[in-house]
Homo-oligomer: A and B are copies of this chain.
């Protein structure tokens, strides 16, 4: 279901969070769909249950999932996270553009690259 890179320097729990955020934001996991149980996922990934627990807890705190004790973890309603996610993206983008300008890249070159990236693989709109 999700992929973890054990060699990666970033903490495992953050990778788990990122993977699920991704699946949820993209709609692969639909609202109210059940996530793997803490224990089963831990087993599957050969990871300690505590680590999964922590990841799920963070996901809940950020509005991506909700927890029902004794039942499991489920994908939250779209409204709970979509706006936050977009704002995060805009902030990152803004910082990057600022850096690019700081590095002496011209506006026109930025525009051209953006168009390039926009045309790659997928296509919404």
* Across-interface contacts of A9 in B (CB, < 8 A): 67, 69
How many protomers of this protein does the assembly include? 4
A76 smallest CB distance to B (angstroms): 8
Q: Cβ of B120 and Cβ of A103 under 8 Å apart?
A: no
8 contacts between A and B (CB under 8 A): A9-B69, A25-B104, A26-B102, A82-B104, A93-B100, A98-B121, A101-B123, A111-B114
User: A90 on the interface (CB 8 Å rule)?
Assistant: yes
Q: Cβ of A103 and Cβ of B25 under 8 Å apart?
A: yes
Interface residues of A (CB under 8 A from B): 6-7, 9, 11, 22, 25-27, 66-69, 74, 82, 85-86, 89-90, 92-94, 96-108, 110-111, 113-114, 117-118, 120-125
Shortest beta-carbon contacts, A-B, top 6 = A106-B125, A107-B125, A97-B117, A25-B103, A94-B117, A7-B66
* Across-interface contacts of A6 in B (CB, < 8 A): 68
Q: Cβ of B117 and Cβ of A7 under 8 Å apart?
A: no
Q: Cβ of A114 and Cβ of B97 under 8 Å apart?
A: yes
Q: Cβ of A124 and Cβ of B99 under 8 Å apart?
A: no
* Across-interface contacts of A106 in B (CB, < 8 A): 124-125
